[in-house]
Structure 1
Amino acid sequence: MKLGFLASHGGSAARHLVAACRTGTLDAVPVALVSNNSRSPALAWAREAGLLAAHLSSAKFPDPDDLDDQITRFLVDAGADTLVLSGYMRELGPRVLSAFTGRVVNIHPSLLPRHGGRGLYGDRVHESVLASGDAESGATVHLVTAGIDEGPVLAQSRVPVLSGDTLDTLKARVQAVEGDLMLRAVQGLTRTE
């Protein structure tokens, strides 16, 4: 398995998986990272880690079809066969989804299908969980399809929502399970090849 990553900010899932590849915990090779944010810490980290890295955004490619084509071409040329969204804050285009059908995974900071869909990302998800009064939250790894957060669920980890939780305390509890959850889900993909 050759992993390509898309990240907008820190890329914690990418970092976790690359470390797992390098220790032999994950039988895969990390090859490339795309960011839509030229100042993304993930982009700088990827370059330092020896991955092919590119800033590809609507600022550089205003035509959505052109941007979709550029992202697809970069990842295919890098040799990626599986994509991991690591906090990527943009919708993927049809060319990327077609080139990597059934091989694009994302982690969402709630137990999908609750608190998912358009407009529910990052801190907004945790705010939605807290406002709902749910007794638990967690993280979900799912296959990415054309719908937002609608693809088949591959794995979930649950965490309690505690009395007195704030956005920051709930977010920290969810983030603490995300790396290992993503690793288990990607390991599952390697076993299905």
Structure 2
Amino acid sequence: MKNIVIFASGNGSNASSIHQYFQQSGRVRIAAIFCNNPQAGVLSRAHDLGIPTEVFSKVEFSEPSFVERVRSYQPDLLVLAGFLLQVPEYLVHAFPNQIINIHPALLPKYGGKGMYGMHVHRAVFEAKEPETGISVHFVNEHYDEGALIFQAKTTIAHCQSPEEIAAAVQALEHQHFAAVIDNLLTADE
């Protein structure tokens, strides 16, 4: 069985979706959820699902010794699912090509520092884009610049608000993210 560690900062709907997907297959286990926000809904979800959690501060995350906390869960892959901090260089080097992120737009559009969540959906809405989507990519030292692994698109011409775009994008995330993780972890089997 493969282990993943999820990093999240918010509600945790993707973490729940990933858990549900792998509970059916039994091939992958969420070893832990790491969270930088002690008020985040993902912590309650993790508790309800029986998944161990690690809450940490930005200062703790910046310390290279933090890598040992992550390694203690023996992860095969680190999964950023709504995680808002930039991954430190030491962690990228400790887990080369083992950290992935999901971004709520079609990169390279609407990526980079400050482009997350509703900020992205507002920008897409204001630009009157006919479509948007999700991008799953490897994490490197720069926001949203790692190699692309997967993209999925959806038409949003009918959307009347950034919130409607957010709902369409979240549906894509829940539909595809766990399968992408599964494919990455089983590609060499």
**TM-score for both structures, normalised by structure 2:** 0.92
Match of 1:2 in 2: 3
Is residue 118 of structure 2 the alignment partner of residue 117 of structure 1? no
Q: 1:166 to 1:43 in 2, by over 3 A?
A: same
Match of 2:27 in 1: 27
Q: 1:164 to 1:75 in 2, by over 3 A?
A: closer
**Could you tell me how far 1:64 is from its partner in structure 2?**
5.6
Match of 2:77 in 1: 82
Residue type of the alignment partner of 2:166: K
Match of 2:57 in 1: 57
Match of 1:148 in 2: 143
Aligned mates of 1:149, 1:115 — CA distance in 2: 9
Whether contact under 8 Å (2:129, 2:157) holds in the other structure is no
1:31-50 equivalent positions in 2, closer than 5 A = 31-50=31-50
**Could you tell me how far 1:95 is from its partner in structure 2?**
2.2
**Could you tell me how far 1:164 is from its partner in structure 2?**
5.3
Aligned mates of 1:169, 1:124 — CA distance in 2: 13
1:95-110 equivalent positions in 2, closer than 5 A = 95-110=90-105
**TM-score for both structures, normalised by structure 1:** 0.90
Aligned residues: 187
Residue type of the alignment partner of 1:17: I
Aligned mates of 1:34, 1:63 — CA distance in 2: 12
Whether contact under 8 Å (1:9, 1:41) holds in the other structure is yes
* Secondary structure of the structure 2 residue equivalent to 1:4: strand
Structure 2 residue corresponding to 1:69, chosen from 65, 70, 78: 65
Match of 1:181 in 2: 176
Whether contact under 8 Å (1:27, 1:190) holds in the other structure is no
Aligned mates of 1:45, 1:159 — CA distance in 2: 28
**Residue deviations 1:4-47 (CA, integer Å, cap 9, x gap):** 010101122211111111111x6211101110001111122223
Question: Where do 5+ consecutive residues of structure 2 fail to align?
Answer: none
Work out the percentage of aligned pairs sharing the same amino acid.
26
Structure 2 residue corresponding to 1:168, chosen from 151, 155, 163: 163
Question: Where do 5+ consecutive residues of structure 1 fail to align?
Answer: none
Structure 1 residues 158-167 or 125-134, which shifts more? 158-167
